[in-house]
Structure 1
Amino acid sequence: MAACEVDSSPKALVYRGPAACSGCAESVADLLKSSGSKFVVDFAGPNEKIDITTESLQGIDLFAQPGGGDLAPAWEATKKYKDVIRNYVAEGGRYAGFCVGAYLAGPDQGFDLLPSGSSVAREVDQPGSQVPDERDTVIQVDWTFQTGSEKGQKQDGRWVYFQDGAVVKLAADAPGVVLGTYSSNGNVASSVTPFEKGWVGLVGPHPEADQSWYDLVNVTNPDGIKFDIGHDFVDSIMAQPANK
């Protein structure tokens, strides 16, 4: 008899709904599938076959909240999930927040998943920001790879798609890992921090953006379209040890 093959790939749920922009959930799903972790992905949301519930998150290795529009309407659309998502991460789950998904991890109008004293703000409002407004463009980050063949390497000035992205304002004593900083001012562009038994990964820019994003707004990435930063982001979340 042939041995039965067991699919050991991690499973992810990606939010898809009114808090996410058109195509954003699909781009996050593609990034997760093509990462070193090789996720099996389903979409979840108020208009999907799967909604975000305690039951649907059971056995899920990662929940991803993609980018979207402004924070206020995104929060209005997702606040009903706050307790479910907080409990999921607290019990050992992992959260990946992209742009608005990063804002939604904050303590105000968000799921409150950050270390005590930490918050999320608009990078465009910060002193020395490379991008001073809300236009779709690219921004430079200094990225330290935590996984894969580039593990341990720091690459400065990498260009990433950006549209009014978040800065993570970590408290001075906050545990976790800073993956990327904005090149112009050193603000935290991406981090992975613990929340009780789980982990929370946030990224302000859009490392999941594919060529269609750039074509839509007539923007060029000087580095070309690469997904190594995005892959390292999601794989770094998964690489963190289980919290007790």
Structure 2
Amino acid sequence: MISRRRLMIGGAGAVAAGGLGWLGVSTLTGGGRQPLALVYRGPASTSGCPEAVATLLRSTPSRFRVEFCGPHENVRLSRESLAKAVVYAQPGGGELKPAWRHMREYATDIQDWVRAGGNYLGFCLGGYLAGAGPGFGLLPGGTDQYISTPDASVTDDDDTVIGVRWRQNPVRMYFQDGPLFRLDPRGPATVLATYDTGQPAAVVAPCGSGRIGVVGPHPEADTTWFTTARLDASGNLHPELGYDLIETTVHKG
């Protein structure tokens, strides 16, 4: 993900959400204060990725109030800070094993918080980290590299655009070595999107009293990601799919 280190993330444009599985007006706060979302920003993320996730969370129908958390942020990632949040988001980053070395000290706090009712969102690397090889062990199953699977349409880790089916609708999205999710057939989960191989590309699942929402491609990507990677953004920007992931995760009904 080196090509995104210098990105300056702009606002994600609003896109019509017809055919998605959530209502366009959130009732999460009941008319009260905006719910808090913590977004990790630190050595287990790539510059630009936390900011893009924050933009998505602020513009989704639940209109989250976002604070960055991490070892060099004003808010530390801890049991106490998680207790104040509705959502914890783990954005994209580099390789899994180095990222896990930075994140494993927080694993117990994140696990306990989700299982007690919190909502975990994982984008790309954050999706890998939802698994257990290594990771937080929140996913009902495991993760794998899409690019390493038989018949994958993308077989290298370059930034690219990939075709998926989101709620059965074909779309093309920004992608860079994202995970697929190997789900335990005994565990309940909602598959929002699949790769062209049929493997899950976006999943929402319960975890104790909480929920997790994970995605391999990047619905949070804006035009600057495409420009930096010299890719065509036309028709490939999909913040509405990020909204679907978020709202489906946080609304447990």
**Distance between the aligned counterparts of 2:72 and 2:247, measured in 1?**
28
In the alignment, what sits opposite 2:154?
131
After superposition, where does 1:6-85 map in structure 2 within 5 Å?
7-85=32-110
SS of the aligned residue for 2:244 comes to helix
In the alignment, what sits opposite 2:169?
155
**Distance between the aligned counterparts of 1:136 and 1:18, measured in 2?**
20
**Distance between the aligned counterparts of 2:60 and 2:163, measured in 1?**
22
Residues 221 and 127 of structure 1: is their aligned pair in 2 closer, same or farther, counting only changes over 3 Å?
farther
Residues 224 and 178 of structure 1: is their aligned pair in 2 closer, same or farther, counting only changes over 3 Å?
closer
State the TM-score, normalizing by the size of structure 1: 0.89
SS of the aligned residue for 1:213 comes to helix
Deviations 1:76-115 (A, max 9, x none): 1111100010001011000000000000011111001012
Gaps (5+ residues) in structure 2?
1-30
Displacement of 1:224? 4.0
Q: Is the 8 A contact 2:174 2:236 kept in 1?
A: no
In the alignment, what sits opposite 1:151?
none
In the alignment, what sits opposite 1:204?
216
SS of the aligned residue for 1:110 comes to coil
1:142 aligns with 2:155: no
SS of the aligned residue for 2:94 comes to coil
The count of corresponding residues between Structure 1 and Structure 2 is: 223
Q: Which aligned segments of 4 or more residues in structure 1 are displaced greater than 3 angstroms?
A: none
Gaps (5+ residues) in structure 1?
1-5, 145-153
Q: Percent identity?
A: 42
SS of the aligned residue for 1:169 comes to strand
Displacement of 1:11? 1.1
Q: Is the 8 A contact 1:159 1:221 kept in 2?
A: no
Deviations 1:42-81 (A, max 9, x none): 0000110111111001121000000000111111111110
**Distance between the aligned counterparts of 1:161 and 1:139, measured in 2?**
6
Higher relative contact order (CA 8 A, sep 6+): 2
Displacement of 1:21? 0.5
Displacement of 1:36? 1.1
Q: CA RMSD in A?
A: 1.1
In the alignment, what sits opposite 2:200?
188
SS of the aligned residue for 1:128 comes to coil
